[in-house]
Amino acid sequence: MPSQDSPLLWVGLGNPGGEHARQRHNIGFMALDAIARRHRFSPWRKRFKGEVSEGTIAGRRVWALKPATYMNASGDAVQQAASFLKIPPADVTAFHDELDLAPGKVRVKTGGGVAGHNGLRDMRRVFGSPDFGRVRIGIGHPGHKDAVTGHVLGNFAKQDQAWVEKLLDALADAAPMLAEGRPEDFMTRVALLTQEG
């Protein structure tokens, strides 16, 4: 059982570089940026084959990591950070895009399959186990498997901006519940804050 005093490692999955910044596949990076801003984390700096920022949420030390290795090699950065910081897989959470959830829907789970997500697949490879946390952020499915790559690597459309901004705000607002190990409350809070109103 992880200690309540041990640090957490929150990993945003995405691809580095300005050309990828607004793509659906990069919602994990966007989520960590929003959380780090809201909770006044340290400035991002290059480390562990990526960029890291650190802060405290709900009394827990949280390290935020955005791998700079491209999605299919995300595990290299995660393993380096987790190993150096002595953070077990149970205290690592990946924030990632999820095709099988409607846009803006969020689900938290530990373990399970990778559903074709290369970032999750590579994390499972380095840990030798699927038993890390996932914050699954819905980007919707384009309807046909041949359209998936274009959808995932496409930028959010102009009409998506309103719900994306609202969602990122909600994730940052609810982050303390995630840090406290209350995933159900976290999901409820995000859902409440993102309802049309």
Q: Which residues are catalytic?
A: 25
Positive or negative: CA dihedral 124, 128, 130, 135: negative
Nearest to 190 by CA among 176, 175, 170: 170
From 48, 46, 51, 47, select the one nearest 79 (Cα to Cα): 48
Give me the amino acid identity at 61.
Answer: R
Distance CA 138, CA 104 (A): 5
